[in-house]
Each structure stands twice: as C-alpha cells, then as structure tokens.
Structure 1
C-alpha cells in the first residue's frame, strides 16, 4: 500500500461506464491510499478531462456503451502530437475480455506511446490493482516532479527548437550501424544506419523522440541527407578496402515522394565513386502514404538506378501488404513486435512464417528485426529465415567499430 502522503499526491483517472463497478473501484483505490481519484463513464469524457488536468495513471474499461476504451490510446496520441496533451499516461486496462484481447490492447497502448500498459481481468482484486499501479508509477519515475515524463512538454519544445540547427550544422548528430547477419554463415550481409543525437543541454535524445519531431517539422529530407552523408563516408572507406557490405538508410514516405530524390541520390553516390547497390533505401511506416503514385514513381526510379529497396516494419501498418505487392521492394523486414511475441502468440508466429514464405515465393530477401535471444534464432532457422538483426545479433556499432567488425569476417 502506498504511503498516505504519496497516495494523496497522485491523480488517478478511472473510466468505467457501470456505476456500481465504478464506485467499487473508486472505494478500492481510496482504501489503497489514493485520494485524488476521478471517476468517469466514457472514453469521450476521459479525453476531455485529460486535456484539462494531468493524471499520473489512467485506469480504463475497454467495452463501454459510449466511447469505447479501445479508442483512448489513439485519441490521446493525437492530442499529444497536436500539443494539447503534455504526455501519454500509463494505462491499466480492466475488462472481462479474453486474455488474447487484453494483451492486444496492451500492445495498442504501448504502440501509441504510453510509458507502460497493463491489463487486469475483472473482477479486479485489490492486490492486483495495487501492483499494477505501482508498476505504472514506476514507469514515470515514481512521480519525481523532475522526471522526463513530467518534463516532456518542456523538453519537446527545446528539442524541436534545436533540431533544425543540429541537422544543418551536424553538431551532436551521429550515425551508428547495426549489422544484419546470415544465420547460416554467421557473416555480416548488410547493416542499418541509425541516427543518434546528443544535445548540449538535454543530453542523449532518443531517435524515438527526434525522428517523429523531424516529421512534424518537415525536416525529414534534411535528416535523410545528414545520414546519407555519413553512410557514404563509411562505404567509401570500406570500398577502398574491398569490403562490400550494403548499408540501409531510413526514409519516410514524404521524403521518398520528393521528385528530385532519386537523381540527387544517384549523383551523390556517383561522386563518392560507389556502386548504387551498396545503398539500400528503407521505407519506414511511421507516416501514412498520401501519394501512392509519387511514391511508386520514386521507388521505381531508385530501382532502375540500381539501388536496393527495403520495407521496414512489415506487418505493423495497415497498408503493409498492399505496399509490398505494389512497389518494387527487394527486401522486407519483419516488424520486431512479431519476432518478440512469436514464441507465445500463435498469431505472431503465423505472421512471421507467412512473411518468410511470401519472401521466398516472390524472391525477396527477408530480414527479422528485434532478434534478442538464442531461441529467436533457432525458431527463425526452423521457419526458413536466414537474415536477422537485433541486440541478440549485435548492438549498433560506431562506424569505426563496424568497419573493424567487417574486416574480421
């Protein structure tokens, strides 16, 4: 049970449409020492309340008569992106739905950006609720008023103000390379370039923060150019040593829809004295495709010029199958969420197996992302996937360390 003074400072938003159950849960939270509990009857009311008042934890039913809880993560994400909500709260789902649906909602909340997400089956016991709230509060640094979660809106303003300047000057910006390994030979067959940024005041800023910021601010193309410059330097060094390992560069749909991108990329690669096949352009699914014709035109031009094309996070987006079948990709990368859950969830394993089989039939390379354990490697081998990437294969390496890693092959 929380200390009485700690519980008194916490704000908990409870969303439950059944008045009796809502009263029962409110009394339970009061008994656990939480004094600031607001009870509402729908997700619509909850969204409105969260724009007016900060809450440490959101506890919500899923199936409700008006405003299902399922909509909450997406609605809150939109408010955060629009600057109307400071940060995503941790969510505790409470429902009598099946375990499969409960865990699906947990993943939904995490994908939306909640610092933590849990699910409790009804009827909810006191000890289970107590532990869930403890975990939720821990995810926001146990309520420290100076924690990154509470300061996120301030940090975001400072970060966005500095990002453009950092991309122009290159100050604090760097690139690391994560190897992709053949599971049959143990050799490096490719790598992915990952952006890094160290701000002089904010310190290390996660790519999960500054890459979406680049999208919001229209700086995607500038970020792509910054990463491309560094990748070409590394490839030039490796080419001089007769090391031919392709490196992929992430690009958003809006970046790839630029009419002049294929020609400019070909020019820069040619000026570096490199063959186009050493550059792999990797389409990310962090924003929807709004102009299919422009994207198709650009991707086809890149392929004609000899560049490889990879589709990132296959299976994560609604349009994954349509994109992969309609565009000239040479490689698909299975979203890490399916790899992480393929041992425990039949649906995830089925998606992984289907992606591998589709790649085989279409003659496309398949890369499994998020490989972290030996059992991942074993199952991927059984399913017929030969290329993997993740911390269980190799951590991202500084360019110099990556080149040395390749030399030893």
Structure 2
C-alpha cells in the first residue's frame, strides 16, 4: 500500500493506523510522481491519498493511474482511498452547512462527482471523511469488494494495423467496405423514424477495422470526400429501396466540416436526390465534431446552402468535444444529437439528468429536433421519456444492422404501423 501525502502529521498518523490494521508493506510518497513510481516498481493494492485544498496530487492520482493502465505498464491497478487530516472544530460563525460540505477546503460534491468519473474510467475510488482507524478500515473494506479493471496485456510485438496504401486501395476500389444502419426510434411508440448510416471495413488480413482507426487515417490522407461519396451513394440506394417499400424515413450520413465545405457539395447532393426521384429532406448530413480548423464563415455558408436545397443538417455529439452552445447559436441546424456519454450517466447523476432536461428545453427554444444517442439499457429509455426526449438510438433499441436486415426490419415495423392505424 502507498500513502500519498505531504510530510507531516497526516502521513505519520495514516501510516500508524495502517500498521495497526495489519498493513506491513507500505510506502510513503510525497508527490504524484513518487506515487506513480512506487506503483510501477511493485504491485500495489491501494493508495491512500491526502485531500487538501492546497495539495492536488491526490485529485490527480486517478488520471495518472488510468494513463499507466492504458499504457500496459501496470500489473495491478490500485484502488484509491481519499481522506483528510480529520475534521476541525465546527465553525462558530454559523457556516455549519458549508463546513459539512467540505473536506479540508475541497467541496464534497465535487469530490463525489470526480470519484464517479474515476470509477467510470475504471479506477475505484472511495472517500473517507472522518479521521480515525475505524473510518479508515471501513473505507478499505469497501474497496476490497470493488472490481479491478483488467490491466492491458503487453505484447512482445507492436500492434499491426492497415497501412495507408490499404486505405487508399479500399476507398478507390470499394473492396472490403460496406455500410450498416443504426435505426432511430420514437421512444414512446418504438416506431422507426430514421437511421444513421455507418461505415465498416473488413480488411483481408486484419479483419474488421474499427471506425476509430479508419476515420483518422482517412482524414490524415485527405480522403474524407472520397469516403463520404461512398457512403452517400449507398445511402441513396437504400432510400430508393425504402421508398419502394413505402417507408418514408430519412437517412443520416456523417461528414466532417472539411467535407461539408467542399465547393458545390449542396448542389451535387440535391441533384443526385432529384435524379433518384427522392425528396431532398430524406437525406440528412450530420456534422461531426472535428471542425475546429475550418473557417466558421465558410462552414456557416455551406450549412445554409445544404438547407436551402432541402437537405437536413444535424449537429452531432452535442455535449462533447467542440459541439458547443456558441456553435449552435451561430450556425443553422435542423437537429441536434445528445452525446452518448451524457446519456450513459443519466441514471447515475442528477447533474446529467438536469443537463439533458435543459438540452430538451434548448432544442425547443431553437426549434430543433432532438435525437438521443448511446441508449444502452431499457431503464434509461423510460427516464429519457420522463425528461421529454422523443427520439433515440442505441444498443438498447437496436445495434447497427446490415442492409438486408435493416430493410427487413423497417418493412416489418411499417406493416405494424399500418395495422395499428387501421384498428
């Protein structure tokens, strides 16, 4: 066990209490760097970290452990126990509530929120406010029952991934590429109201290549427009198949700001939709968050041109990265999508529920449709409905589907809707 604390009474008292609890192997670290060195040198079960307003090393510890674990350098991921040097006498100035909400000058609310983030990242954290051996023992016992994240297996050889030439060959030939469809549902009726078109790449040697690997390579090579053209073509083909089946739902295609700002894009897409005999509003373009290097004036003009041609525009990943309120207020959009990280926390934290409820109000204020991403369990659906959310997508509703499965599923749901309408 490692005690991360400044030199002084707290460090000595904590070491003595751990010894009385039978912890024979313990080390003291006065800095975050010394603590990380200690856990790298020897397998460490736990780190007891001092919390104080003028000593931030304990707060930074979960981030450091997360990075070490991700690098594969830890054999064992330590648990973390945050505590302080004991509560001072209650102030006489009437600020009792304020005193109760602090741990050595650090907000208990902020600590609890930070601990939740750490647990989400795989680092188990407990907070012990009271001093004394009993409280310390209780905190340690709670951590003993906590599940540790698996430490990544370190490979003797570096990971292999597709080369840039492989990406170029795939995009120019289409070999190994395909699209899948993640349906979007009306959360109350469970009717399919749209779908997002997603790219998949099956490499001959490396198998299924994740989009998180493919997309950065495409952007780095400047092939984003080529990839967009491939997906857009498949989306229009699928819209024609849906139209033939009497299913009038839109399909959404992701695009970077660089792609959206391509000269003549709005005219080209509108022309393709017209030649296919499809209303332009059946095609939706989702602006991804990687747009910081694009001139805002050019982006605004390009979004306006798409909407002028009848093509819908959606702001993806609102609540994460660069998808900010400033962008929403300055640019023209038809729709916004709430990022899945907020959605996954909605059942866990009141703050997440308040943010989503506020976003629902914001969407109404801006006259935007709202889509909820990343819905992963059934209980979340009911909670989102209570908050005023109407449309969503995620694994709790449906995983991304191959083209044939999506068309079959949409046709079945269409027949169910028709049957309900005639009852």
Short-chain TM bin: 0.7 to 0.9
Counterparts of 1:274-313 in structure 2, within 5 Å, are: 274-286=278-290, 288=292, 290-313=294-317
8 Å Cα contact 1:282/1:312 also seen in 2: yes
From 126, 130, 143, the counterpart of 1:120: 126
1:158 and 2:164 equivalent?
A: no
Which runs of 5 or more structure 2 residues have no equivalent in the other structure?
Answer: 84-105, 129-135, 415-423
TM-superposition CA deviations, 1:251-300 (whole Å, max 9, x none): 22333233343233334434444322111111122553542112111111
Q: Aligned partners of 2:309, 2:108: CA distance in 1, in Å?
A: 49
State the Cα RMSD in Å: 4.4
2:94 paired residue number = none
2:419 paired residue number = none
Q: Aligned partners of 2:268, 2:28: CA distance in 1, in Å?
A: 56
From 181, 186, 195, the counterpart of 2:190: 186
- Shift, 1:131, TM fit: 6.0
Q: Aligned partners of 1:75, 1:342: CA distance in 2, in Å?
A: 26
Q: Aligned partners of 1:33, 1:163: CA distance in 2, in Å?
A: 55
Q: Number of residue pairs matched?
A: 372
From 232, 256, 279, the counterpart of 1:252: 256
Say if 1:19 and 1:130 are closer, same or farther in 2 by CA, change over 3 A: farther
1:41 paired residue number = 31
TM-score, with length taken from structure 2: 0.70
Structure of higher CA gyration radius = 2
2:375 paired residue number = 371
8 Å Cα contact 1:259/1:294 also seen in 2: no
- Shift, 1:312, TM fit: 1.4
Q: Aligned partners of 1:330, 1:277: CA distance in 2, in Å?
A: 11
2:202 paired residue number = 198
Say if 1:22 and 1:198 are closer, same or farther in 2 by CA, change over 3 A: farther
Say if 1:87 and 1:237 are closer, same or farther in 2 by CA, change over 3 A: farther
SS at match of 1:378: helix
2:324 paired residue number = 320
- Shift, 1:190, TM fit: 0.7
From 309, 318, 340, the counterpart of 1:336: 340
Which runs of 5 or more structure 1 residues have no equivalent in the other structure?
Answer: 1-11
SS at match of 2:161: helix
1:388 and 2:378 equivalent?
A: no
Q: Aligned partners of 2:258, 2:209: CA distance in 1, in Å?
A: 23
From 125, 142, 148, the counterpart of 1:135: 148
TM-score, with length taken from structure 1: 0.73
